[in-house]
């Protein structure tokens, strides 16, 4: 039973240059308690996908279906969607400074959410706020309630954002590059925290990231996005050990590894992503792909089922490129 | 190694800033290292560790409060502005935010041309050809010569910044987080370009970065910094296979690897707490407040920087992990056991 189902999502923006098809036919589900990774480069549509579900973008959003926890999100009015945001779906973004109100204390921002969505009175909200800050590993939580965002470090602010996002026991947490701006030792703390929450509270997570290493370590399944589409989806193992789309293969080859595996030279992806205004009729990755076959020039590749939950929109046979599962 | 092999020697360089209420912040505190000609020296650490300030001090963009920067035998601190400017023809810099480092009012061709003008190079008819050649070296098509920085992608802007640096035929380039703002696929293009240029032109790099995976990939020798101090310095393989300082080990264990099985097996050292206030660092070893191995004596005096093995320097007296224990941090042992 999936918690979130998205069927053929299209988000288009009208610009002076033409219509930008930022998300162009995206379909996926998220199961309860699952951590789903969304990877791809800037402009691939991963953030717009998440924001569209929450109706937080100013574009034309269309879909055949968006259901969340049994509710048809496409038919809800703005007020009802607002209730879901924050209460049932929590979000954390890359830059907590932009999400937190700079002139309100941490305590005020946390208790406001609790009073609004959980109908708590002031004292109860305050007690719960302290509990939440403690849960996300902030030292001296009582003292932090009276702090303003600028008085906290980046890692502390991101913990506060997570506390706010979790304050109403959301069923789904959407994290958009949530650790990208943080130092690696702080990132490790936040990642452990999110994994633990998914395990202990059964919160489902959509983890949006450009960092393949992070995704390998924390996600159950991954959607790889390119040019507004999901070009490959599968379990982390399927994706990393049996990549079946030229772009996934390229991403893995481009990523240097701290364990030194992968050789002296990175296998870069040449060129740049498409501009998303020109209509796409063939595989959008074709101009940059290094494993093309004759069929690539004919039609848009269909999504191929490769066993289990593994699908890829690629006609080339990539098995000779698999480094294999080392374990 | 003879002394002449070193193109650059940084000797006990300190850079101090004044913070609020006149507090002195030691952003860089007695940092020393030498860089071999034609090699890449990685300076790695987290925000506020002083790695970028150290990079600026090498070019005297930030004059050190103490210590010496010796480039090709010349003590840069003794040079006047004029002499320093001509020395900068031999030392160039490439920044993280390439677009911001380019003059928005100049076209790509003019940006490169300006660098040549400043140093009086390729005057007259040879200029155009030189610009085309420089653009070609960094993989920029010549049709981009008339474009302006706001019309470029992040990767293209970084290529322009690199070609501008190359224009004056430098020997040393300080690269400060040159690929951190770029997408993974474009990052790999620029890293490969830097490596090709080094091979073809015999360049020396100081590569400043927070990204331990890229630093391993590109560097020959690496210094790890924490709160203004170098805590560990070694050849690449020594550092990544036998990290000695508890901070280096925590740092390496925190970097994710794009390999799910390895990730499931890895032991992480999760550091508690945040970076201390640099204006008020812990006494003794600066890492004590977050160190999982700290003992009371660590807070008493600054640990000496001593050689744990040939060429491998560590600022910690108590750490001596077994090779295997250290290797497990980055997954080496997990692999060899299979």
DSSP sequence for B83-117 = HHHHHTTTEEEE-S-HHHHS-TTS-HHHHHHHHHH
CA distances B143 to B75, B139, B148, Å, are 42, 12, 12
CA atoms within 13 A on the CB side of A325: 10
For strand B172-176 and strand B204-209, is the pairing parallel, antiparallel, or unpaired? parallel
- Beta strand A172-176 with A204-209 is parallel
Taking a C-beta distance cutoff of 8 angstroms, is the pair A129, A107 a contact?
A: yes
Q: Kindly report, residue by residue over B119-161, the tens digit of the pLDDT.
A: 999 998 999 999 999 999 999 999 999 999 999 999 999 999 9
| CA–CA distances in Å: residue B326 to residues B19, B153, B173, B230, B240 | 38, 40, 32, 19, 9
ipTM score here? Answer: 0.88
Residue of A nearest to B237 (CA): A260
Chain B interface, best mutation among A137, A139, A147, A184, by max B CB count within 10 A? A184
CB within 8 Å: B260 and A217: yes
Judged by CB atoms closer than 8 Å, whether chains meet at A214 and B256 is answered as yes
Tokens describing residue B14:
């300190």
Give the one of A42, A241, A259 whose C-beta lies nearest to B330's C-beta.
A259
Residue B321 banded pLDDT, cuts 50, 70, 90: low
pLDDT at B2 over 90: no
Most confident of A193-202, B65-74, B290-299: B65-74
Cβ density class B26-65: b for 16+ within 10 Å, e for less: bbbbbbbbbbeebbbbbbbbbebbbbbbbbbbbbbebebb
| CA angle in degrees (0–180, nearest 5) for B301-B304-B310 | 160
Mutation test of the interface with chain A: which of B185, B187, B250, B274, choosing the one with the most A Cβ atoms within 10 A?
Answer: B185
Closest Cα partner for A285 from A301, A277, A273, A294? A273
Instruction: Please list the ranges in chain A whose pLDDT falls under 70.
Output: 324-327
Of A41-45, B27-31, B108-112, B228-232, the one with minimum mean pLDDT is A41-45
Farthest-apart Cα atoms in chain B, separation: 69
- List the single residue in B with minimal CA-CA distance to A214: B256
- The mean per-residue pLDDT over the stretch B201-218 comes to 96
Q: Which residues of B touch A96 (CB under 8 A)?
A: none
Chain A hits for B255, Cβ within 8 Å: 184, 213, 258
Closest to B254 measured CA to CA, from B235, B237, B271: B271
Residue B268: the pLDDT is 86
Mutate which of A94, A219, A258, A261 to disrupt the B interface (most B C-beta within 10 Å)?
Answer: A258
Q: What length does chain A have?
A: 327
Number of neighbours of residue A133 by Cβ within 10 angstroms: 26
The residues near A150 (Cβ < 8 Å, ≥ 6 apart) are: A97, A102
The predicted pLDDT at position B1 comes to 45
Structure-block tokens of residue B200: 């073809």
Sign of CA dihedral B170, B208, B106, B131: positive
- CA of A236 vs chain B CAs: smallest distance (Å): 7
Q: How far is A257 from chain B (nearest CA, A)?
A: 5
Contact A258 B213 (CB under 8 A): yes
B198 burial type by CB count under 10 A (0-12 exposed, 13-18 middle, 19+ buried): middle
Do the chains contact at A258 and B268, CB–CB below 8 Å? no
The answer to whether the CB of A96 falls within 8 A of the CB of A155 is: no
Residue B333 has pLDDT above 50, yes or no: no
Helices (H), B8-70: 51-58
For A222, the token pair is: 């991954």
Confidence (pLDDT) at B329: 61
Do strands A204-209 and A35-39 pair parallel, antiparallel, or not at all (unpaired)? parallel
pTM: 0.90
Residue A180 Cα, gap to closest chain B Cα (Å): 11
List of long-range contacts for B293-297, beta carbons under 8 Å, 24+ apart: B293/B246, B293/B318, B293/B319
How are beta strands A89-92 and A172-176 bridged, if at all?
A: parallel
Burial class of residue B141 (count of CB atoms within 10 Å of its CB; 0-12, 13-18, 19+): exposed
pLDDT band at residue B324 using 50, 70 and 90 as cut-offs: low
- Rounded to an integer, what distance in angstroms lies between the CA atom of residue A108 and that of residue A101? 10
What's the pLDDT band for B278 if we cut at 50, 70, 90?
confident
A213 contacts B213? CB cut-off 8 A: yes
Of B250, B256, B271, the CB nearest to A217: B256
Question: Residue B145, SS3?
Answer: helix
pLDDT reported for residue A98: 78
| H helix or E strand, kind and range, residue A114 | helix A106-118
Nearest to B183 among A41, A153, A260 (CB): A41
CA A162 to chain centroid, in Å, comes to: 15
Q: Do B210 and A261 touch (CB under 8 A)?
A: no
Residue B274 pLDDT more than 90? no
Over residues A245-295, the pLDDT tens digits come to: 999 999 999 999 999 887 788 988 988 888 888 888 999 999 999 999 999
Q: Do the Cβ atoms of A185 and B330 come within 8 Å? A: no
A233 and A36 Cβ atoms separated by less than 8 Å: no
Residue B214 in this model has a pLDDT that exceeds 70: yes
């Amino acid at each position: 039973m999936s918690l979130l189902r998205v069927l053929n999502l299209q988000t288009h923006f009208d610009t002076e240059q033409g219509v930008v098809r930022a998300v162009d036919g995206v379909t996926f589900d998220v199961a309860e308690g699952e951590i789903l990774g969304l990877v791809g480069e800037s402009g691939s549509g991963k953030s717009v996908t998440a924001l569209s579900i929450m109706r937080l973008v100013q574009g034309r959003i269309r879909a055949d279906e968006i259901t969340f926890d049994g509710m048809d999100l496409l038919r809800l009015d703005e007020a009802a969607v607002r209730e879901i945001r924050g209460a049932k779906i929590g979000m954390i973004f890359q830059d907590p400074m932009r999400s937190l109100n700079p002139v309100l204390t941490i305590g005020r921002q946390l208790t406001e959410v609790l009073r609004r969505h959980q109908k708590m009175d002031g004292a109860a909200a305050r007690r719960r706020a302290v509990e939440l800050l403690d849960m996300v590993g902030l030292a001296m939580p009582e003292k932090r309630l009276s702090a303003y965002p600028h008085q906290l470090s980046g890692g502390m602010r991101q913990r506060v954002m997570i506390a706010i996002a979790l304050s109403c026991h959301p069923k789904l947490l959407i994290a958009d590059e949530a650790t990208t701006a943080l130092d690696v030792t702080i990132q490790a703390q936040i990642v452990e925290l999110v994994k633990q929450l998914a395990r202990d509270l059964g919160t489902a997570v959509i983890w949006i990231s450009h960092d393949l290493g992070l995704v390998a370590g924390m996600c159950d399944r991954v959607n790889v996005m390119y040019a507004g589409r999901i070009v490959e989806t599968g379990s982390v193992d399927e994706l990393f050990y049996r990549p079946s789309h030229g772009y996934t293969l390229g991403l893995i080859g481009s990523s240097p590894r701290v364990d030194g595996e992968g050789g002296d030279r990175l296998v870069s992806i040449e060129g740049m992503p498409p501009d998303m205004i020109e209509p796409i009729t063939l595989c959008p990755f074709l101009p940059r792909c290094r494993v093309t076959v004759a069929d690539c020039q004919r039609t848009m590749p269909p999504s191929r089922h490769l066993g289990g939950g593994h699908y890829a929109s690629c006609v080339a046979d990539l098995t000779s490129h698999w480094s294999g599962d080392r374990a | 190694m003879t002394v002449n092999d070193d193109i650059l020697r940084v000797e006990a360089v300190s850079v101090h800033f004044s913070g609020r209420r006149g507090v002195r912040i030691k952003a860089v505190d007695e940092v020393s290292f030498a860089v071999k000609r034609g090699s890449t020296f990685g300076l790695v650490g987290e925000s506020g560790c002083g790695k970028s300030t150290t990079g600026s001090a090498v070019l005297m963009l930030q004059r050190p409060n103490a210590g010496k920067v010796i480039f090709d035998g010349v003590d840069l601190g003794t040079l006047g502005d004029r002499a320093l400017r001509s020395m900068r023809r031999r030392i160039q810099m490439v920044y993280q935010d390439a677009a911001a480092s380019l003059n928005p009012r100049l076209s790509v061709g003019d940006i490169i041309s300006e660098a040549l003008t400043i140093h009086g190079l390729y005057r007259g008819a040879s200029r155009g050809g030189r610009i085309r050649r420089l653009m070609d070296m960094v993989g920029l098509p010549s049709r981009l010569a008339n474009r302006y920085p706001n019309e470029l992608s992040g990767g293209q802007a970084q290529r322009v910044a690199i070609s501008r640096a190359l224009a004056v035929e430098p020997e040393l380039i300080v690269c400060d987080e040159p690929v951190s703002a770029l997408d993974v696929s474009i990052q790999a293009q620029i890293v490969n370009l830097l490596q090709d240029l080094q091979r073809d032109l015999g360049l020396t790099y100081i590569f400043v970065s927070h990204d331990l995976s890229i630093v391993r990939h590109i560097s020959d020798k690496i210094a790890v910094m924490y709160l203004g101090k170098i805590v560990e310095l070694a050849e690449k393989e020594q550092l990544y296979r036998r990290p000695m300082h508890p901070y280096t080990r925590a740092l390496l264990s925190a970097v994710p690897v794009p390999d799910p099985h390895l990730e499931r097996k890895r032991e992480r050292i999760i550091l508690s707490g945040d970076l201390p206030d640099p204006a008020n660092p812990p006494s003794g070893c600066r890492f004590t407040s977050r160190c999982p191995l700290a003992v009371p004596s660590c807070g008493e005096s600054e640990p000496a920087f001593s050689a744990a093995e040939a060429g491998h320097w560590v600022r910690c007296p108590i750490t001596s992990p077994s090779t295997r224990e250290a290797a497990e941090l980055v997954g080496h042992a997990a692999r060899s056991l299979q």
